[in-house]
């Protein structure tokens, strides 16, 4: 899920970094003081989520929580994901430092998709919560697979789609569980991204 340096062309990574920094400014500039504690906690959760691994099909995949970030933060999910990815790269060596922008775009897009799914009215909340978690990580994986396909790298997009569809199901159930918990314990937290 976290693209390492040396896989995608340096020029593409630099362009993605520039786009990401622009998005970081655009989505983060109107952040209010009241948003920051929530963003800090979500950033911490995203940061450690990557440590929960699942060995599968000869590789290793991990939780992302991008859909949950979208539900709880809306557009503020992007700056949080960017910072979490930066520290994951520096501290855990998950993903390359130069590729942070590209990874942030992939995963930020997943979070935005999760947020849009969550905002869709009329559909029961449990289905929206599961779908947000499911789509959040699957879209990020799909974008990464497309980038690999274009670069001609790796074992193919179908392999990535296969392993991440399993991760997406796990993530969907986890997101649903967390949302159900918030609904019972602190329902106002779910109104933020709406």
Partner 1 sequence: MMNGVIFLTSLVIGIAGPGLEHGIEVDFVKRAPSVIATCSYTGSGPVKNAEVLVYSPGEGDDEYQKGGTDVNGVFAFVPDAPGQWKIVVDDGHGHRKETAVTVTEEFFLSEETAQVPGEDAGTGKIGFTDLPLWLRAIWGLTLIFGIACLLYLLKVKKLIQSGNDRA
Cβ-based nearer residue to partner 1, 91 or 185: 91
Q: Judged by CB under 8 A, does residue 144 bind partner 1?
A: yes
Among 53, 125, 181, 194, binds partner 1 (CB under 8 A): 53
Q: Judged by CB under 8 A, does residue 163 bind partner 1?
A: yes
The whole-angstrom separation of Cα 45 and Cα 78 is: 14
Q: Judged by CB under 8 A, does residue 115 bind partner 1?
A: no
Radius of gyration in angstroms for the set of CA atoms belonging to the chain, rounded to a whole number? 16
Q: What is the DSSP letter of 90?
A: I
Instruction: Give me 145's structure tokens.
Output: 């697979």
Query: How far apart are CB 125 and partner 1 at their closest, in Å?
Result: 28
Q: Cα 39 vs. chain centroid, distance in angstroms?
A: 14
Q: Judged by CB under 8 A, does residue 92 bind partner 1?
A: yes
Instruction: Give me 72's structure tokens.
Output: 């709880």
Answer whether 67's CB lies under 8 Å from 112's CB. no
Q: Judged by CB under 8 A, does residue 6 bind partner 1?
A: yes
| Torsion over CA: 91, 93, 98, 101 (sign) | negative
Q: Judged by CB under 8 A, does residue 177 bind partner 1?
A: no
Query: How far apart are CB 145 and partner 1 at their closest, in Å?
Result: 9
| % helix, strand, coil for the chain, step of 5 | 75, 5, 20
Segment interacting with partner 1, rule: CB under 8 A, options 30-38, 70-78, 171-179, 185-193: 30-38
Phi-psi region of 180 (alpha: psi -120 to 50; beta: other; left: phi over 0): alpha
Segment interacting with partner 1, rule: CB under 8 A, options 38-46, 116-124, 128-136, 185-193: 38-46
Which residue ranges make up the site for partner 1 (CB under 8 A)?
A: 1-7, 31-33, 36-37, 39-40, 43-44, 47-48, 51, 53, 55, 58-60, 83-84, 86-97, 144, 148, 153-155, 159-160, 163
């Amino acid at each position: 899920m976290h693209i390492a340096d040396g896989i995608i062309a340096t020029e593409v990574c630099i362009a993605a970094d520039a786009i990401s920094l622009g998005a970081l400014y655009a989505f983060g500039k109107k952040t209010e003081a009241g948003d920051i504690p929530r963003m800090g906690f979500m950033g911490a959760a995203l940061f450690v989520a990557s440590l929960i691994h699942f060995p599968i099909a000869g590789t290793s995949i991990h939780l992302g929580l991008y859909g949950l970030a979208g539900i709880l933060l809306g557009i503020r999910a992007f700056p949080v994901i960017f910072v979490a990815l930066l520290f994951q790269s520096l501290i855990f060596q998950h993903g390359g430092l130069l590729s942070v922008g590209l990874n942030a775009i992939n995963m930020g897009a997943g979070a935005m998709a999760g947020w849009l799914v969550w905002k869709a009215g009329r559909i029961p909340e449990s289905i929206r919560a599961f779908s947000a978690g499911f789509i959040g990580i699957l879209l990020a994986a799909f974008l990464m697979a497309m980038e690999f396909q274009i670069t001609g790298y790796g074992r193919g997009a179908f392999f990535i789609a296969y392993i991440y569809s399993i991760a997406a199901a796990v993530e969907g159930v986890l997101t649903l569980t967390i949302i159900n918990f918030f609904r019972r314990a602190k329902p106002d937290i779910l109104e933020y991204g709406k």
